[in-house]
Amino acid sequence: MEAYLMSLGVDVWNSVLVEYVVPLTPLIDLDRRKNYVNNAKAKNVILFDLNQLELMNVMHCHSTKWVWEKLKNG
């Protein structure tokens, strides 16, 4: 999983390592939009590989880092 996320780009993998806060305002700034897209890509890859029980345990997580940590720690 880690290798695949890295292959999508360092910014996508960085979404797993750095906490992302979902903005409450529209994403007009290009850097903020890029961070949002990278977080969404990484989270989608991780969620796609989960079984139903694992998915239920992390579906409330907003950031990829939160999902990753929750899965690592059980």
pLDDT tens profile 3-39: 999 999 999 999 999 999 888 888 888 999 999 999 9
Q: Where are the alpha helices (DSSP H) in 1-74?
A: 2-7, 10-17, 30-48, 52-58, 64-73
Per-residue pLDDT for 74 more than 80?
no
Per-residue pLDDT for 60 more than 80?
yes
pTM score: 0.85
User: What residue spans define the domains of the chain?
Assistant: 2-73
**CA–CA distance, 42 with 38 (Å, rounded to integer):** 6
User: DSSP assignment, residue 22?
Assistant: -
Q: What is the pLDDT of residue 54?
A: 95
The rounded mean pLDDT for the chain is 92
**CA–CA distance, 28 with 25 (Å, rounded to integer):** 9
Q: For residue 62, what pLDDT band results from cuts at 50, 70 and 90? A: confident
